[in-house]
Structures are given as C-alpha cells and as structure tokens.
Amino acid sequence: MSIEVKNVSKYYGNQAALKDVSFSVGRGEVVGFLGPNGAGKSTMMKIITCYLPPNSGDVKVAGHDIYDKAIKVRRSVGYLPENNPLYPEMYIREYLHFAAGIYGLKNRKAKVEKIIETVGLTPESHKRIGELSKGYRQRVGLAQALIHDPEVLILDEPTSGLDPNQLEDIRKLIKRIGKKKTVLISTHIMQEVEAVCSRAIIIKLGEIV
C-alpha cells in the first residue's frame, strides 16, 4: 500500500474535522477523494503530508510512519495544497530551483528543465509566476510537487477555478502523471473522479461514507 490511514481523528478545538477515518490507496492507483466543502478533505491531506498531526490514529505513506519517519514521508510525497500557494514575484525557473533546493536534489538545473517539459510549461517558462494564467500556475504547482520524483502525489482540488479548456488540459496532465505514481486527488466534482480516477473515497462531515 502507498497510503494507509487507520482510525484517524482530528479535532480543531471541540470540532471533529475527521472521525475515525480509515482507507488505503494501493501503489499506482489514482483515487478521487470526493466530498462537499468542509468534509475534511484538506485536513486529511495535511495529515498525510505531515503538515498537521492527527489527534489519534495511524498513517503510513510509502511504508513510512508519519510520526517516526516524517522526513521519509515528506521525501516520498509531492503535495499541491489547496489554492496552490506560490510566490508570484519569482520566475518559474527560480521557484523550481528553490523547491529543488529544499529537497537537497542534485543536478537541479537538469531536473528543473525536465519537469518544465513534463508539465507543459515550456512556452511560458521565461515568465514570472505572477504573469501566468491560472492553468499555467497550476502547472507550476504540479512541477513543484513532482520535482523530487515522489512515489505519492497529494493534489488538493487541483482544478478548482479553471476555465473549461484549462480544466481539460490539467485533467489530462494528471492522468498522464498518474500512470507512474500513486495519486490522491480531492474534489467536490463527481465528473472529475470519472474523468481522472479509477475509484473514489467519499467523505462527508469527517466520516467516510
């Protein structure tokens, strides 16, 4: 299994955002994490990527425990957070070099060029991030998530706010990337799951339904 979630609960104060959630995702699967706003999708993804600790439960990613092997988990995971936080004043290459540096990668220059090609950023690659359309910004976010060639990709609503053409392009790209990775992709759109995923995990009010 690439992702194993067992009996995870998470509270924000008194409010339970996740209640005894369990699921697993096999190696190479592309799975939709489907649910309405407020269901707990982002919270679960933050736990899987070691951004937030759960209150209880166990999570393993690529065989590594999130408590004992957090660094290994982070090395195994590429994460595109909700709303794709980027630095608009940075150039694309500058930003991707920065991301590669965080992972301590060797041959950064070659890796940045390769990932620019993989995500289809080549025609825009000389620009600052702030100058890009939303679809191309998503590609930068995906490039950042892929730069260290992780086994697992966690994509939090990667197509939200895109126009129909951009949506189609980004879905195709995710499908192509998904052939070589384990992907968990959150959405509240059923058609997105049908377009990109092989199955869905449905969550509502913090519980798998």
Which positions lie near ligand ADP, rule CB under 6 A?
A: 12, 17, 35, 37-43
Q: What does the block give as tokens for 183? A: 């992907």
Residue number, nearest CB to Mg ion: 42
How many angstroms separate the CA atoms of 60 and 23, rounded?
A: 11
Q: How far apart are the first and last CA of the chain?
A: 21
How many angstroms separate the CA atoms of 12 and 18, rounded?
A: 10
Position among 42, 76, 159, 187 found at the interface with Mg ion (CB under 5 A) = 42
Looking at 33-41, 64-72, 111-119, 191-199, which segment touches Mg ion (CB under 5 A)?
33-41
Nearest to 137 by CA among 183, 180, 169: 169
- 39 makes contact, choosing from ligand ADP, Mg ion, none, with CB < 5 to 8 Å by partner type, with ligand ADP
**Does the footprint of Mg ion cover residue 166 (CB under 5 A)?**
no
Q: What does the block give as tokens for 116? A: 């620019």
Looking at 20-28, 40-48, 174-182, 197-205, which segment touches Mg ion (CB under 5 A)?
40-48
How many angstroms separate the CA atoms of 194 and 183, rounded?
A: 14
Phi, psi of 113 (to 5 degrees): -60, -40
Taking the least distance from each CB to ligand ADP, the nearer of 32 and 120 is 32
- 12 makes contact, choosing from Mg ion, ligand ADP, none, with CB < 5 to 8 Å by partner type, with ligand ADP
Residues that bind Mg ion (CB under 5 A): 41-42, 82
